[in-house]
């Protein structure tokens, strides 16, 4: 446990930052799930719309280093390929 005033403040800041970062990661997962659900439903237009909404969110989180840029690119690539593969 933190003993000094500085250590207590840093612990509070770390908790606050961790909560915020978890919220950002959760947002990305939610957008990805929306695209996956649209793909599974078979509605290509809905899937394209969900993908278009998800891409800027994924990029923004990658720019903030919450997820690695390659992971963001991998998600976008796989979702795009699944949408293109729809009949």
DSSP string of 62-85? Answer: HHTTSS-HHHHHHHHHHHHHHHHT
* Contact assessment for residue 83 and residue 34, using Cβ atoms and an 8 Å cutoff: no
Is residue 5 in a domain?
A: no
Average pLDDT over residues 39-68: 96
Each residue's pLDDT tens digit, 30-53: 999 999 999 999 999 999 999 999
Burial of 55 (0-12, 13-18, 19+ CB in 10 A): middle
> Number of structural domains, the chain?
1
Model-level pTM? 0.86
Domain housing 27: 14-84
**Percent with pLDDT over 70 in the chain:** 100
Residue 25 sits in a domain of what CATH number?
Answer: 1.20.58.110
């Amino acid at each position: 446990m933190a003993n000094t005033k500085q250590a207590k403040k840093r612990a509070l800041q770390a908790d606050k930052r961790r909560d915020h970062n978890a919220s950002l990661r959760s947002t990305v997962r939610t957008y990805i799930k929306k695209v996956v659900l649209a793909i599974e439903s078979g509605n290509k237009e809905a899937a394209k719309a969900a993908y278009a909404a998800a891409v800027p969110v994924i990029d923004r989180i990658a720019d903030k280093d919450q997820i690695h840029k390659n992971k963001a690119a991998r998600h976008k690539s796989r979702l795009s390929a699944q949408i293109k593969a729809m009949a």
